[in-house]
Structures are given as structure tokens and as C-alpha cells.
Amino acid sequence: MSIHVNQLTKRYGNFTALDDISLSIDDGELVALLGPSGCGKTTLLRSIAGMEFADSGSILLEGRDMTFEPIRHRQVGFVFQHYALFNHMSVFENVAYGLRVKPRAQRPPEAEIRRRVHELLDLVQLDWLARRFPPQLSGGQRQRIALARALAVEPRYLLLDEPFGALDANVRKELRGWLRRLHEELHVTSLFVTHDQEEAMEVASRIVVMNHGRIEQLGTPAEIYDTPRTPFVSTFIGNVNVFRGCVRNGAFHSGSWRLPLPRTLDTLHLAEQNAYIRPHDIEILRGPAADWQVSIRHVQPMGSRYHLEAVPVADASGGPGPETESGRITIELTRQAFKALALDVGHRVGLRIHHVHWFHGAATPQQPIDIPAPA
């Protein structure tokens, strides 16, 4: 069941929550709406659900214009961040609620309601809690009950508003994998809101990155991370070092540092240009074949990887190092690479840059630029 959003705009007074949004979601997809607080992702989700009505634009569900239809006509299941369960009802009755309140002509027989509820509780692996009440459950269990309730009415579309936002980190991680496996089994067209980039990257088949009421980029997790199309996407998804400088004479210059560019960019001259470099696209070298020299100031083990912070070292003429937003350069190494280099705080090492992202009309923002090795 497809979802098509066409030029949707929604304002609250002088504030524009959605600014000419267009989006298509294919049948059976699991798509994440990702962005900072206030970017419009929940407003978009509620508009698709029929809880909000846009000022202009249209929403088509399976080709039917549902822009101003109420939620009861849209065949959506909605899961809230804070569960919205009825504490005075048992788990069983919470899941059965949507079926029991259907008009008499549409309401299934009692035996069918009981069969469907137990089937859903078994699906979310909580049938053994059917007689308990929500206050007796953990946060993760309550969220799974909320999902079962949303699925009870057999929705064509499943919409989730930060479904794991109220849970601790370990439970969030467990439920992310569980939701992905559940979706693979049910294949319901699903859209979920999150501000957690790791959550979006792990669960979704495609990600919609939003900012200030607009879509910055839509793509697979790999496309979003490897080929960001705007500076915002590059800095919001994952970690990145932002170097300020200029491009001239076939090289990027930041302070006294010079980074050679590929021959295809030799004629490029930009008075102001930022270079966006991922921490894992920086290699640490002990020998002379390095682009830049730094001094390591901080080392932090992060499980299978090491997170390092370094500061530039002045060149032989005493020229200033590159200008970065934080004043430091972040580097990520595998545990094996870190141990092989025997690094520690205070060590002076060379850096070799492998990939750079640019965001300017003269250099395509869709692909990272490979930096040639020194001759």
C-alpha cells in the first residue's frame, strides 16, 4: 500500500512546520523520518495519519486522495511514544479495544476477536501477559503491547511516533532488531519518526532526513551516509570533521595545510570552501608520506573502535594549522589498527586523507572525492 505526499505545507501561525514536502513510499517499505527536534517529522506523520490537516498539498493512500479524510477512514495503525495504553484494562482488552469499538456491522464475532488478540500477543511474544495490566509491565513490554493494539485492526499502514524514545538504551537496541524482523514477517507499509540516527540506520530500508520543515535527502542508509547531498546531512548523520579554507592551484588550503586534489579539479578556484572529512577516512601514518602532522590529545576506547582527538602541528615555517569548527580533528581507528600503531596521548603522527565531501556547484555533492596518494 503506497503513500504519496505532494507539496504538503502546514503552518502554525508564523511557524512553518512543513514547507512544500513531497514524498513517495512504496508498498511494504519501512521508512524512517529522521531529523532534529522541531524539523516537522511528527507533523508529517500525523498529517499522513489524519490527526493533522495541511494548509495545502495532498496525501494519497494507494492512489486515493485522503488529504482531508479523518483517521478512521485511512486504515492506519498508530503507535505513540508513550504507549497510550489504558491502565484500567488488561493487556488482552487493550489489544482488543480497536476491534470492540468498531461499528456493529463491522465488528468481528467475539470468538474471532479472541483468536486475533491471542495471535497478536503471540506474535509480539507476550501472550503469557494477557491478564496483566499495563502498570505491571516493563517499558519494552508496554511498547510491544501498543504495537499489537495498532496491528489488531489489520491496518494497511503502520505509523510510529518515536516508538522507542521513552526506553533505555539496551531495550531500544533489542526492540529495534525485533521491529525489523516483525516488519519482514508482516510486510506492512510502515513509517516511523526518530531523532536517533543509529536507530534509523539500523531499522529502515530508506531514510528521509528533514530539517526546518523540508526534506534534505531521501535514500538508503548507505546513500545517506556515504553520499550526503547537503552540509546538514553530512554533519547530522555520523561524525565529520569540517575544515574551513579555500581551493586554488589544484589543492585545498586550510591555514598552512595543503591537500592535493584530483586532476579533474585542478582548475577549480573557490575563495571559500569547506571540506567535510569522516573520522574513518583519515589514516594515521608513522612515516613521511602524510598529508598533515598532528599531536594526539585524547584517546577513547569505543568497543571495537578507538576514538582519537588530535590538534594540528605547525609546519616547518611555523604556519598555522587548519581551521576546524572544534579546533580539534577527530579520528576513528579499528582496535587492530590502534594497537598496531601503539599510539598514546602526546604522540606526533602524520595523517593521510582518503575521501573528502564538497558541497558546491563546481564539484558534485553526490560522491566523495578520492584524494590521490602523494607521489
Q: Which CATH number covers residue 310?
A: 2.40.50.100
Q: Is the pLDDT of residue 120 over 70?
A: yes
Q: Is the pLDDT of residue 369 over 80?
A: no
Residues 231 and 245 in one domain: no
CATH number at residue 13: 3.40.50.300
Examine the fold and report which residue of 209, 235, 261 is the final residue of a domain before the chain moves on: 235
Amino acid at 242: V
Task: Please check whether residue 233 is in contact with residue 209, taking contact to mean a CB–CB distance below 8 angstroms.
Answer: yes
Task: Kindly write down the DSSP assignment for every residue of 81-111, as one continuous string.
Answer: TT----TTS-HHHHHHHHHHTS-TTTPPPHH
Residues 245 and 178 in one domain: no
Helices (H) and strands (E) in the chain, counts: 9, 22
Q: How far apart are CA 195 and CA 165, in angstroms?
A: 9
Q: How far apart are CA 191 and CA 182, in angstroms?
A: 14
Q: How far apart are CA 266 and CA 6, in angstroms?
A: 41
C-alpha cell at 197: 540516527
Residues 112 and 252 in one domain: no
**What are the Cα distances from residue 4, in Å, to 54, 156, 208, 363?**
14, 14, 14, 32
Q: Is the pLDDT of residue 119 over 50?
A: yes
Position 309 scores a pLDDT of 94
Q: How far apart are CA 200 and CA 145, in angstroms?
A: 22
Task: Kindly write down the DSSP assignment for every residue of 108-119, as one continuous string.
Answer: PPHHHHHHHHHH
Task: Give the chain's radius of gyration (CA, Å).
Answer: 26
Residue 352 belongs to a domain: yes
Examine the fold and report which residue of 235, 253, 286 is the final residue of a domain before the chain moves on: 235
Q: How far apart are CA 310 and CA 329, in angstroms?
A: 5
Range of the domain at 294: 239-370
Residues 220 and 245 in one domain: no
Sign of CA dihedral 356, 361, 367, 373: negative
Share of the chain above pLDDT 90, in %: 41
Residue 289 belongs to a domain: yes
Residue 91 belongs to a domain: yes
Residue range 143-171: average pLDDT?
A: 82
Position 55 scores a pLDDT of 94
Examine the fold and report which residue of 235, 256, 287 is the final residue of a domain before the chain moves on: 235
Residues 8 and 53 in one domain: yes
Residues 228 and 289 in one domain: no
Q: How far apart are CA 271 and CA 2, in angstroms?
A: 46
Confidence at 166, pLDDT banded by 50, 70, 90: low
Residue 375 belongs to a domain: no
Q: What is the pLDDT of residues 286-334, one digit of tens each?
A: 766 666 788 999 999 998 999 999 998 876 666 666 777 778 899 999 9
CB-based contacts of 102, cutoff 8 Å, min separation 6: 108, 153
Position 364 scores a pLDDT of 44
C-alpha cell at 28: 511494504
Task: Please check whether residue 276 is in contact with residue 356, taking contact to mean a CB–CB distance below 8 angstroms.
Answer: yes
Task: Kindly write down the DSSP assignment for every residue of 132-176, as one continuous string.
Answer: S-GGGS-HHHHHHHHHHHHHHT--SEEEEESTTTTS-HHHHHHHH
Position 9 scores a pLDDT of 96
Stronger pLDDT, 218 or 263, i.e. the higher one:
218
Residues 231 and 257 in one domain: no
Residue range 349-353: average pLDDT?
A: 87
Residues 325 and 266 in one domain: yes
Task: Please check whether residue 88 is in contact with residue 38, taking contact to mean a CB–CB distance below 8 angstroms.
Answer: no
Position 54 scores a pLDDT of 92
Q: Is the pLDDT of residue 49 over 70?
A: yes
Residues 75 and 166 in one domain: yes
Stronger pLDDT, 350 or 172, i.e. the higher one:
350
Residues 18 and 159 in one domain: yes
Number of Cβ within 10 Å of residue 25's Cβ equals 22
Q: How far apart are CA 367 and CA 358, in angstroms?
A: 9
Q: What is the pLDDT of residues 65-113, one digit of tens each?
A: 999 998 888 889 888 877 788 899 999 999 998 888 888 888 889 999 9
- Tally of structural domains, the chain: 2
Taking every pair of Cα atoms in the chain, the longest distance, rounded to a whole number of angstroms, is 86
Residues 110 and 247 in one domain: no
DSSP reduced 3-state for 41: helix
**Mean pLDDT (the chain, rounded):** 86
Residue 101 belongs to a domain: yes
Position 354 scores a pLDDT of 87
Confidence at 182, pLDDT banded by 50, 70, 90: confident
